[in-house]
Structure 1
Amino acid sequence: MDKTVCELFAGVGGFRLGLNKSANDWNFVWANQWEPSRKAQHAFECYINHFGESENHVNEDIATIDKNTIPNHNLLVGGFPCQDYSVARTQARGIEGIKGVLWWQIRDILQVKRPPFVLLENVDRLLKSPAKQRGRDFGVILACFNDLGYSVEWRVINAAEYGFPQRRRRIFIFAFRNDTNFSQKLDENNLRAWIHNQGFFQNEFPIQKHFETKHTPIEKQMEYIDLADVSDNFQLTFRNTGIMTNGKIYTEETNPTKHPQVSLGSILETNVDEQYYIDTDEEKLKKWIYLKGPKRIERTSKTGHTYTFSEGGLSFPDPIEKPGRTMLTSESSLNRSTHVVKDLVTGRLRILTPIEAERLNGFDDNWTNTGMPQKFRYFCMGNALVVGLIEKMGKTLNYIFEKETNEHYKQIESAAITSEN
């Protein structure tokens, strides 16, 4: 099968870099990156700096693009935001999702282009949102895939548990059309075996066969009239691993096999500019210590209710013998979540450099040094994924694509044309 890729919400190119590291024959036929709230499109400029300018590298709002103009592709990838996926019935257009929610742009592309494989990334809270109807949002996504003839496997992966220097938990969603060769191995009557043996994630991200857990596996058949019905009524406690095929869901809590940890200290630079040190301003240093420390603060809600806000303390400085914490878009600013380390050479306290932020996600040094403001370099890394995870998934995709033949899809297309006539 031709290894053609469409990349959505491309950012600074983490998916593309990861797949290219797994093999050099991935052909990205179309990519889209757009920051609606920003006049300067720094992430897109970074993308084309590395991958070249092309009419198929598009810096436009995906909602305004005719999906028929996107080239055909066999793999759709993207890291899409966690939003409100509820839908409602409308008189004019039947069933409609909330305007601006980017999942519906993905769904629209799937409807028009029908790629055999899809690989998506999101924050792990997607499985539990919204709080008042746990699992509804992910249920809507699964129903969309199901209606379009796809099976879906998912796994919440903490990068640090598989040998990377950041404790970054994200859900990865791998969907495959039910007419692919890959799907023929799926036994609907033994979905647990798929997760533990034949599935997409198990080869590169092995899990323990047996371990103690208080969470029992869950099996559920989705029964719904339409997407609005799912939005109104669906609820399920999704575990960190699962599979859905033909509306049948199997989900269980899994534990990774042990991998050697890679420490935060292993990615630190040794010749760091003075601008990154925080010990030159005594008042700011006191603020750092306060923000990182434990707190119990009396507050009053809008309704007049008094309550106590509390939070535990964070290590200050961050321990460099362990993997780093999850990097956020606010990295480097004076706030609780920013990493502060003791410099390897001077022993002084400092924040991470932009290069160290890139290394935490597995990007090449100075990947984002393409003319954007330094603050935005950190922002891009807070939004990015861990490149090494995609590289590992790319190795599995390489194998899957080898087993999919172009002749197989010609037969499928021929049968579809015959049935239409």
Structure 2
Amino acid sequence: MDKLRVIELFAGVGGFRLGLEQTGHYKIVWSSQWEPSTKTQHASMVYEARFGPENHSNSDISEVPTPEIPDADLLVGGFPCQDYSVATTLQNSKGLIGNKGVLWWSIHRILSEKKQPPKYLFLENVDRLLKSPSNQRGRDFAIMLKSLEQLGYAVEWRVINAADYGMPQRRRRIFFLGYHKSTKLYKKLKKTDTKSWLLENGVLAEAFPVQGDASTIKTLDIMGDLVSLSDSFNKGQKLSPFENTGVFIEGKVTTTKTSASYDAVKMALGDVLLKGAIPEEFFIAPEDVPKWAYLKGAKKEVRTAKNGFSYNYSEGAMVFPDALDNASRTIITGEGGKSPSRFKHVVRTDNRFRRLTPIELERLNMFPDNHTRLEGISDTKRAFFMGNALVVGVVSKIGASLHKKINF
């Protein structure tokens, strides 16, 4: 069978592409990467250096006319977590307005304007999406689910921590898949008992097996239009109705809490460390080690705000240095640079403390060594890329499972 054609949005340095291409079943026909806050488009430069400039856009996706985007079978992207609230406009009372800068609505626009929309969606976000915003828990996700249903899709989702399945980094993200009602997969989901889909037979359950208690499965209906959902969904409730695993089809949510079912080999931080000489710049000067130890230590102290107000501040201790026999902590965008930090990784090798190198950070996300190495790209920027990236191995396993389900 021919490879499935893919549109890759918010491509970063190409984690989705790497994971899908590893399966041998997907071909990226168009990609887009635009960083609004920087003049130099570093991530797009890396993407083009690795995959070539052909069919790659480095323009603001909200400005790209839909006809310029080719038809594809699958749309993928890790889009920013923002405020997804909507409202009607007087000029267009039937239409909805989501803030143009909110990139979810660019996905929505492409799906709604294409004469032949992608049959499948594969999207990623931080797991906070399931419970944001804090004053209307779950509203943003409900808006997304309902807007996709109006465009003809059913959705299944899972929060996956890569380390639970043997990968070298504890990185928890929500992945959700959309199936257009014209597909066999949609019809298969509609006919299948949703409990068995969530726990055994679904695309995500086959890629990443789970344990779950069928008796704790909850259902709810998402009714009304997007504006009423935006105004009133789950108002006054302390908890989101969405658990870490779920399905939404024809207005009905089925959701439950699951845990990973995995007992094979697990990679650890120590497994990704470079052998041999490490550049001296990554080592921490002995006189600076106490600063790092303080920032990572437990604290109970009185602090004074700029306005003179005094308050009690406390935080727990972090492991220092990072344990080499366990999966690493989550890489964040501020991982790079020499300045002491509570959140940067520090390892002890040859009786010296040091930060992680760009190659080691790439390995924690299962990227090829030196994927982000390019003239004009600093080590700090390379670390930033990995703080924004996804774990390639997760994408690869879901991509393989999706392809299998489509074809059987």
Band the TM-score falls in, shorter-chain normalisation: over 0.9
Aligned-pair distance for 1:69? 1.6
Q: How many residues align?
A: 393
The residue number in structure 2 matching 1:369 is 373
Would you say 1:394 and 2:393 are equivalent positions?
A: no
Question: What is the distance in 2 between the residues matched to 1:362 and 1:352?
Answer: 15
The residue number in structure 2 matching 1:142 is 145
The residue number in structure 1 matching 2:346 is 340
The residue number in structure 2 matching 1:412 is none
Aligned-pair distance for 1:281? 4.8
Given that 2:212 and 2:256 are in contact with CA atoms closer than 8 Å, whether structure 1 keeps it comes out as no
Aligned amino acid, residue 399 of structure 2: G
Aligned-pair distance for 1:308? 2.7
Aligned-pair distance for 1:401? 3.8
Point out where structure 1 has 5 or more consecutive residues left out of the alignment: 404-421
Question: What is the distance in 2 between the residues matched to 1:189 and 1:305?
Answer: 59
Question: What is the distance in 2 between the residues matched to 1:242 and 1:397?
Answer: 16
The residue number in structure 1 matching 2:40 is 40
Aligned-pair distance for 1:398? 2.3
Q: Which moved more, 1:150-159 or 1:174-183?
A: 174-183
What's the TM-score once normalised by structure 2's chain length?
0.92
Q: Which moved more, 1:109-118 or 1:154-163?
A: 109-118
Cα 1:96–1:21 change in 2 (3 A) is same
Cα 1:163–1:309 change in 2 (3 A) is same
Question: What is the distance in 2 between the residues matched to 1:74 and 1:306?
Answer: 57
Cα 1:304–1:134 change in 2 (3 A) is farther
> Where has structure 1 moved over 4 Å in runs of 4 or more?
299-307
The residue number in structure 1 matching 2:30 is 30
Superposition pairs for residues 16-415 of structure 1, below 5 Å? 16-23=17-24, 25-54=25-54, 56-94=55-93, 95-113=96-114, 114-187=117-190, 190-210=193-213, 216-224=216-224, 226-235=225-234, 236-259=240-263, 260-270=265-275, 271-278=277-284, 280-282=285-287, 284-299=288-303, 307-333=311-337, 334-343=340-349, 346-371=350-375, 372-403=377-408
Aligned-pair distance for 1:237? 2.0
Given that 1:265 and 1:320 are in contact with CA atoms closer than 8 Å, whether structure 2 keeps it comes out as yes
Aligned-pair distance for 1:2? 5.0
Aligned amino acid, residue 140 of structure 1: I
Question: What is the distance in 2 between the residues matched to 1:329 and 1:158?
Answer: 18
What's the TM-score once normalised by structure 1's chain length?
0.89
Question: What is the distance in 2 between the residues matched to 1:43 and 1:256?
Answer: 32
Given that 2:246 and 2:256 are in contact with CA atoms closer than 8 Å, whether structure 1 keeps it comes out as yes
Cα 1:99–1:73 change in 2 (3 A) is same
Cα 1:302–1:141 change in 2 (3 A) is farther
Aligned-pair distance for 1:85? 0.4
Given that 1:12 and 1:380 are in contact with CA atoms closer than 8 Å, whether structure 2 keeps it comes out as yes
Aligned amino acid, residue 112 of structure 2: Q
Given that 1:332 and 1:339 are in contact with CA atoms closer than 8 Å, whether structure 2 keeps it comes out as no
The residue number in structure 2 matching 1:409 is none
Aligned-pair distance for 1:34? 0.6
Q: Which moved more, 1:291-300 or 1:364-373?
A: 291-300
Question: What is the distance in 2 between the residues matched to 1:38 and 1:83?
Answer: 19
Cα 1:255–1:115 change in 2 (3 A) is same
Question: What is the distance in 1 between the residues matched to 2:304 and 2:279?
Answer: 43
SS where residue 88 of structure 1 aligns? coil
Cα RMSD after superposing both structures: 1.9
Aligned-pair distance for 1:28? 1.0
Given that 1:185 and 1:198 are in contact with CA atoms closer than 8 Å, whether structure 2 keeps it comes out as no
